[in-house]
């Protein structure tokens, strides 16, 4: 049986790093781990024979071509966990154009580009794309001051999920979106110092990994809140 290839964007720390460690325990998968900090991933995943690491900067314009070039080395992409994210926490009137553009570039625009690179590798054999959004981008959830750039850019990812599931419904590609509540990671600690989330990155990774590998047999185009903390 050929190995299934799992692409994880944003794998150098937090939930993405925990996902690599969790999924690499399966011998029948090969993990393609991406982030800017390639050196750190090389050290952190040095003992994992079924993990390859590549550098990519989602801030740059040529995400689609860069990722397409990286993926040429792999026969397929069976699962894509679109997990990278940038949290901007600033009062609305203090947001600069650059803050807003960066949040949208990393959380939204690069998602268009990376999915455009992944889909051609996935369409023939089928697969599952899992977009990692936030409870802040989930309609009707509690909202937090300072997160307008971040949460609206994550809400766009929710909508993109629903639209792509419709556009590709005749294929074997399924696309779903998980809206996460608070998870104890570097991102959370930097944005809200001292706040204690009810879930660790490793615990959240368990759920995301199981969802990615199995749930697309039953659901497509769905947006699912995954939260112990946020109403």
Q: Residues in the site for ligand NAP, rule: CB under 6 A? A: 10-16, 35-37, 56-59, 83-86, 106, 132, 134, 180, 182-183, 185-188, 197
What is the nearest approach in angstroms of ligand NAP to the Cβ of residue 47?
Answer: 19
Q: Which of residues 173 and 208 has its CB atom nearest to ligand NAP in the complex?
A: 208
Cα separation, 221 vs 133, in Å, equals 14
Give the nearer residue to ligand NAP in terms of CB position, either 121 or 154.
154
Q: Which is nearer to ligand NAP, 24 or 182 (CB)?
A: 182
Kindly give, in sequence order, each residue whose CB lies less than 8 Å from that of residue 110, ignoring residues fewer than 6 positions away: 58, 59, 63, 84
Query: In whole angstroms, what separates CA 171 from the centre of its chain?
Result: 22
Distance between CA 86 and CA 186 in Å, rounded? 11
* 223 neighbors 161 (Cβ within 8 angstroms): yes
Output the smallest distance, CB 170 to ligand NAP, in A: 29
CB-based contact 204:178 (threshold 8 Å): no
Cβ proximity to ligand NAP, 125 vs 152, nearer residue? 152
Instruction: Provide the minimum distance between the beta carbon of 125 and ligand NAP in the complex, in angstroms, as a whole number.
Output: 26
> If we measure between CA atoms, which residue out of 221, 207, 231, 216 comes closest to residue 83?
207
Closest distance of CB 14 from ligand NAP, Å = 2
Q: Which is nearer to ligand NAP, 172 or 196 (CB)?
A: 196
Q: Which is nearer to ligand NAP, 23 or 132 (CB)?
A: 132
- CB of 120 vs ligand NAP, minimal distance in Å: 21
CB of 173 to ligand NAP, least distance (A): 21
Cα→Cα distances 203→19, 106, 199, 213, Å: 10, 24, 6, 16
Residue with smallest beta-carbon separation from ligand NAP: 14
């Amino acid at each position: 049986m050929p190995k299934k290839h799992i692409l994880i964007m944003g794998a150098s720390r937090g939930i993405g790093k925990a996902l690599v460690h969790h999924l690499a325990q399966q011998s029948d998968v090969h993990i393609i781990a991406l982030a800017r900090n390639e050196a750190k991933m090389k050290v952190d995943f040095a003992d994992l024979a079924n993990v390859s690491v590549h550098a990519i900067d989602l801030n740059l314009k040529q995400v689609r071509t860069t990722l397409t070039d990286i993926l040429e080395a792999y026969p397929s992409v069976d699962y894509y966990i679109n997990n990278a994210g940038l949290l901007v926490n600033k009062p609305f009137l203090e947001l600069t154009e650059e803050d807003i553009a960066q949040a949208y570039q990393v959380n939204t625009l690069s998602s268009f580009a990376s999915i455009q690179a992944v889909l051609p590798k996935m369409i023939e054999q089928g697969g599952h794309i899992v977009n990692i959004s936030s409870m802040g981008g989930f309609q009707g959830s509690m909202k937090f001051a300072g997160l307008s750039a971040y949460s609206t850019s994550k809400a766009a990812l929710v909508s993109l999920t629903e639209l792509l599931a419709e556009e590709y419904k005749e294929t074997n590609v399924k696309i779903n979106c998980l809206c996460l509540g608070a998870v104890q990671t570097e991102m959370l600690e930097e944005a809200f110092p001292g706040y204690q989330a009810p879930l660790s990155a490793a615990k959240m990774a368990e759920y995301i990994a199981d969802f990615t590998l199995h749930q697309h047999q039953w659901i497509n185009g769905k947006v699912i809140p995954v939260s112990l903390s946020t109403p």
